[in-house]
Amino acid sequence: MAIGAQPLGPGGRAGVAAALAVPALIAVTAGAVLWQAGPGRGLSPADWSAVRFTLWQAAVSAVLSIGLAVPLARALARRRFRGRALLVTLLGAPFLLPTIVAVFGLVAVFGRSGALNAVLGWLGLPEVTIYGAHGVILAHVFYNLPLATRLILQGWAAIPAERFRLAATLGMDAAAVNRHLERPMLMRVVPGAALLVFVICTTSFAIALTLGGGPRATTVELAIYQALRFDFDLTRAAVLSLVQLAITGVAALLALRWVGETGIGAGLDRPVRRFDARGPGLRLLDGAVIMLATLFLVLPMVAVALRGLPAFIDLPASVWTALLRSLAVAAASTALVVAGVLAISLAVVRLGRRGHVLEGAALLAVAASPLVIGTGLFIIVHPFVDPGRLALPVTALVNAVMTMPFALRAVIPATQAAEAEFGRLADSVGLAGWTRLRLLVLPRISRPLGFAAGLAAALSMGDLGVIALFADPETATLPLQVYRLMGAYRMDDAAAAALLLLVVTLALFRAFDRGGRGHVEV
Amino acid sequence: MKPYLLLAGLLASGAASAQDMPVLTVYTYESFNTEWGPGPRIEENFEAVCGCDLQFVGVGDGASLVARLRLEGARTEADIVLGIDTNLTAAAAETGLFAPHGIDPEGLDIPVEWTDPVFLPYDWSYFAFVYDTSVVPEPPANFRELAESDLQIVIQDPRSSTPGLGLVLWIKAAYGDEAPAIWEGLADNVLTVTKSWSEAYGLFMENEADMVTSWTTSPAYHVIAEEDDSKDAAIFEEGHYVQIEVAGKVASTEEPELADAFLEFMLSDGFQGVIPTSQWMYPANTPEGGLPEAYSNLSTPETALLFSPEEAAALRDAAVAEWQSALSR
């Protein structure tokens, strides 16, 4: 059922251009940093151990996140219950939290004086500590389990209801359904999701350091920060960021080889009924998985909410103006992402197997150091215009570029499925161009596209690290305002602003995500 | 401000007034120029006397100020850079981007004699471990006692934060070649290391840690802004490392007289009087009205420790490497 390469068309050509713009941006900015650089010290043994630690923790985090996401996604795919839609949205939330908010939420639950230790102490059990390599991994699983779950859940949603009906007619039990329907789907979805989580974890900085308990938990991004800020060793910063990119590039090539095309076939979009999952044992198992995951993911957010409530009504006016600014940035970058992701996924599908190169190119955006991109853009822009004036457009652009890979991973499989299943039919009736997009592709990818838009909007609300060099007092976004409040000793106000950020981010995500879902269940 | 000026400002949104008046651009760190920092009040006070438009540009943290200036080189818009500490002034002076201030500062209230021809101090404080007196009734009296205690501390990474670097140099100044042994002793007390002061202080305020690297003047914030006198700074017998924050004139400035006027103003009451209740540091030149009452109740060390900028620059890499290897075991 694989489809071969097709003519690109104008949409496809735009997609190729958009995908190639990402490595171009990275290359140009890294080039600008190198060009500006004087002689540097080169990489030290400490830098190499930072590279090793970065790779190790990213790999462990990816394996654990995916390992936990599969049973969670399966449980959510098999069960229908009241509040499920809300739960699916809430489970998406950790990934959207600005790092500082996530860290404080986790600490409130797992920290030294957190809820977990209070319970353990009450039971007479020894204290546990979150600080150490396991804390870094815990935080990364907290962050990425929801993303992985959503990506895998979409794999499940792509299995047509008719298949499960057929499986039931054939008398298949859960194990047989797993073997014949679910495992092939997972083989297709898991490598891409795992790669994404791995890449996200490689650029971790504040989380790794704060929860890592000390300099053992030094990541490449911290080394880049030090090189750029304290040492002004631009060569070292650029080289470190290229090492990181090279590693990601190799990982991307390996993982995307495994990302196959859909082999599941088309259905009539009927609601899924799972005849195989009716046994009480399976119900209990799924219930327990959902319950535990919910506790793990939602408790830290509850902690953030409770901490922020007291000061919420007295939030300074500047926080609200920062919110408006963040919303403008989010709107711009969401529009960019939706246009980009549509064009790129069309190009990927039309290029057939070669199309994965495009996704790999766009994926580099996550692995690129935001610090190096920011510095490079600054060097390029500074001779011509006051960088402070470009703070918001640059933030919107870079946020869009860095969100693209997540959006692509969600949208590409659905686009492939639509073309694979209905492409020939469309060809035979001469459906092409805009009409084909509107009648065939868009309706079939509206769910993942809504999810992608939600991701883009929400991630742009967060701080992706580029703004710092460009920001001036008149252009503070909400996450920056949270940091400013903390820097002024105002921890209560900072907590309240963080709550505002959490609520708005979630609301944006939900609005887009629901809009895409329409009446269809995910 | 006169009403018609305000009206003009509203109508012309600042653009017109900026055309008639010379602009003085001051690069400083982010937290200096927020509505809670000293920036806005200082701007108002200086503009009342200078006939100019003072513009603060917030640039990350103290460590990134010099990096920003080097990125921009002689093309920079900055006339003044404000917010480097003496541990980083050697590297800043070495760039050749700063001009001598030519001012003979008299009667400074800082714990060392000031001879730097390029940079002038505007505030200072002692690095110290801040704690809650209800949680830690008997704080340690020196680093060895801290190392032997069960107390958990949060510190900042010296590779990304100026207080983090301050602590490393503090131990180096107090213990010299024994510093690695002190760090090894402290390793089990270090709960975690954060990127910047904000995260560390935040963790402390959430009761995650018993003590946090901050300044002896930090408790003044809690007394004055929150009417909470439970925070105190532990005084160590070895003495306390001093952080002195400075400003310098950029050599390529097109407004040299205005820049000189700002540096003069920086040591006067219009600037210094704002510092205690916005920076929560000691002013470098105590204003006429003296310090707020909360400052007179602060714990203060007997001995001040400080490396010269050249010593600090020479020792920094090795001291940070010692810190790193002791805490990586």
pLDDT in tens, A133-151: 888 889 899 988 988 898 8
C-alpha A20/C-alpha A271 separation (Å) is 39
* The pLDDT value given to residue A40: 62
Q: What is the ipTM of this complex?
A: 0.81
Mean pLDDT in residue range B284-308: 94
Question: Is B201 within 8 Å of A388 when comparing Cβ atoms?
Answer: no
Domains of chain B: 3-124+244-295 (3.40.190.10), 126-242+303-328 (3.40.190.10)
Q: Which of B125, B119, B126 is nearest to B263 (CA)?
A: B119
**Which CATH code for domain A10-34+49-305+315-517?**
1.10.3720.10
Q: Does residue A485 sit at the B interface (CB-CB below 8 Å)? A: yes
**Cα separations in angstroms, A358 against A188, A190, A192:** 18, 19, 14
List pLDDT tens digits, range B25-49.
999 988 898 888 999 999 999 999 9
Contact B320, B158 (CB under 8 A): yes
Structure tokens at B60: 């990350």
| Torsion A442-A446-A448-A449 (CA) sign | positive
Report the residue count for chain A: 522
The pLDDT mean for chain A works out to 80
Q: What is the pLDDT of residue B54?
A: 95
CA angle (B11 as vertex; B7, B14 as ends), nearest 5: 95
Span A250-297, pLDDT tens digits: 777 776 666 554 445 555 555 566 666 677 778 888 888 888 988 888
pLDDT computed for residue B58 by the predictor: 83
Amino acid at B29: Y
A210 touches chain B (CB under 8 A): yes
Q: Which residue of B199, B218, B227, B228 to mutate against A (max A Cβ within 10 Å)?
A: B199
Nearest CA to B240 among B125, B88, B321, B72? Answer: B125
Q: What is the enclosing helix (H) or strand (E) of A254?
A: helix A234-258
Q: Choose, out of B25, B208, B217, the residue to mutate when testing the contact with A (most A CBs < 10 Å).
A: B208
What was the pLDDT predicted at A39? 65
Q: Which long-range contacts (CB under 8 A, 24 or more apart) does B74-78 make?
A: B74/B251, B74/B252, B75/A382, B75/A383, B75/B252, B76/B27, B76/B250, B76/B252, B77/A386, B77/B25, B78/B25, B78/B26, B78/B27, B78/B250, B78/B253
Nearest chain A Cα to B95, which residue? A232
Residues 450-479 of A with CB under 8 A from B: 468-469, 471-473
Residues 136-175 of B with CB under 8 A from A: 152, 157, 159-160
- Would you list the domain boundaries of chain A? 10-34+49-305+315-517
Q: How far is CA A304 from the centre of its chain?
A: 21
Which residue has tokens 């996924």? Answer: A345
Is residue B17 predicted with pLDDT exceeding 60?
Answer: no
CA of A203, closest CA in chain B: separation in Å?
15
The pLDDT assigned to A273 comes to 66
Please compute the mean of the pLDDT values over residues B129-144 and round it to a whole number. 96
Q: Residues with Cβ < 8 Å from A288, sequence gap 6 or more?
A: none
**Would the CB atoms of B31 and A472 count as touching at under 8 Å?**
no
Q: State mean pLDDT over A360-385.
A: 79
Pick the closest to residue B217 from B235, B192, B239, B191 (CA basis). Answer: B235
- Find residues 339-358 of chain A whose CB sits inside 8 Å of chain B: none
**In the block, which residue shows the tokens 């980083």?**
B88
Is A166 touching B (CB cutoff 8 A)? Answer: no
Residues A43, A231: Cα–Cα separation, whole Å: 13
Residues of B in contact with A225 (CB under 8 A): 159-160, 195
B183 and B195 in contact (C-beta within 8 Å)?
A: no
Structure tokens at A192: 């891409």
Enter the tokens of residue B212: 């946090």
Per DSSP, which regions of A206-359 are E strands? none
Q: Which pLDDT score is estimated for A510?
A: 84
Note whether B204 contacts A: Cβ–Cβ < 8 A.
Answer: no
A455 contacts A511 by C-beta, under 8 angstroms = no
Question: Alpha-carbon distance A256 to B8, whole Å?
Answer: 61
